[in-house]
Amino acid sequence: MIKDKDIGQKVLQMYQQGYSRRAIQDMLKVSEALVSRYLTKAGYRARSAPITVEQIDYIEDSYSSGLSINQIAVNFGISQYAVQCKLKQRGYDLNDKVSEKEKEYIQSLRGEGYTINEIMMKTGRGWQTVKNHIAGK
């Protein structure tokens, strides 16, 4: 049986690795309230302050220099969706479709022993996308 302290540490670890609150809740099979309680206790806020123009400029620069949406989201402590919205507002056409080449790359990384989280970081794709393509969907 997992102790509350262990769950709390796991929630924080997963959140710091870029997992969304919802993904943590689903993966650990715990309530939304429990995830929020541990994150709030650790100083993470459920809602971010408005993103400034300077931050949007930095998001755009980071994306242009090759950082993935996931990496930018982790760096800023905001959701991938927020990063995508800001980039779309700046006129970026974000291709969300996974190419056959990228599917093969995801599967090869898994074959080499990479974890889903490591593959997420390497490809900039979300947890569910990586999981789906590992399963061959």
Q: Using H for helix, E for strand and C for coil, what is the string for 12-48?
A: HHHHHCCCCHHHHHHHHCCCHHHHHHHHHHCCCCCCC
Residue at 48 is within a domain:
no
Range of the domain at 76: 53-89
Within-domain flag for 46: no
Six token digits for residue 45: 């806020």
Confidence of residue 1 (pLDDT cuts 50, 70, 90): very low
Asked if 84 and 59 sit in the same domain, the reply is yes
- Does residue 59 share a domain with residue 36? no
Q: 80 lies in a domain? A: yes
Same domain, 112 and 83: no
Q: Number of folded domains in the chain?
A: 3
Q: What is the pLDDT of residues 8-26, one digit of tens each?
A: 899 988 888 878 888 888 8
Residue with tokens 């991938």, as numbered in its chain: 80
In terms of residues, how long is the chain? 137
pLDDT at 77: 76
22-74: per-residue pLDDT in tens? 888 888 999 888 998 898 888 887 655 678 899 899 999 988 887 778 788 88
Q: Is the pLDDT of residue 6 over 80?
A: yes
Q: Cβ atoms within 10 A of the Cβ of 55, count?
A: 14
Residues 9-13: contacts with CB within 8 Å, 24+ apart?
A: 11/35, 11/38, 11/39, 12/38, 12/39, 12/42
For residue 118, is it within any domain?
yes
pLDDT at 100 over 70: yes
By the 10 Å C-beta count (0-12 exposed, 13-18 middle, 19+ buried), 129 is classed as: buried
Instruction: Flag whether 47 is in a domain.
Output: no
| Structure tokens, 16 | 């710091």
Cα 117 to Cα 43, 74, 123: the distances in Å are 23, 12, 10
Cβ atoms of 32 and 66 closer than 8 Å: no
Bigger pLDDT: 7 or 21? Answer: 7
Residue 116 inside a domain? The answer is: yes
Task: Look at 18 and 88; give whichever has higher pLDDT.
Answer: 88
Asked whether residue 94 is domain-assigned, the answer is no
